[in-house]
Homo-oligomer: A and B are copies of this chain.
């Protein structure tokens, strides 16, 4: 593949991700400028705003998929798999933040939705296994647990960026809260 295309799309995806995270109203001109790429070039690769957003969403979901792959390969299951998942996904907290902010647009894309569904099913499976094994509270719905992990990753992105808590520390706090809650019992 042509290096020039690789270079421009890379710059565009990076700049878009960065800008749209902070300002979802940013214009395509603004994004092109920040990417150091001609406006026409942006339109050549992504004919609409929606397409660009979908492309970033797909890239994000791809990164998530790659992070989960080793857990699947190692045939981990139940709570152990969920724990491993959290550790792997923490570095991608910003991607979750992005997906949440653009979700109403991104979810309209077929591929985005398909990837999202696949991953959701995988996570549900792990939670379900954990519940069957008695490791995870059976009263909690898998849907709710997934939603909470998702939004906790959003919090994690906040903590990493705004309050500069080191990643190792965020990881510990994340797992304590997720596994044991806030009470000492």
Which A residues lie at the B interface, using CB under 8 A?
22-25, 79, 82, 100-101, 104, 130, 134-137, 139-141, 143-145, 147-148, 150-152, 154-155, 158-159, 163, 165, 170, 172-173, 176-185
Q: What are 22 A-to-B residue pairs whose CB atoms are below 8 Å?
A: A22-B104, A23-B104, A24-B24, A100-B154, A101-B101, A136-B183, A136-B184, A137-B184, A139-B172, A139-B176, A140-B177, A144-B155, A144-B159, A144-B165, A145-B182, A147-B158, A148-B152, A152-B152, A178-B181, A179-B181, A180-B180, A180-B185
Known: A143-B163, A144-B155, A177-B181. 15 other contacts (CB 8 A): A24-B24, A79-B182, A79-B183, A136-B182, A137-B176, A137-B180, A137-B184, A139-B172, A139-B176, A143-B165, A151-B158, A152-B152, A179-B183, A180-B181, A180-B185
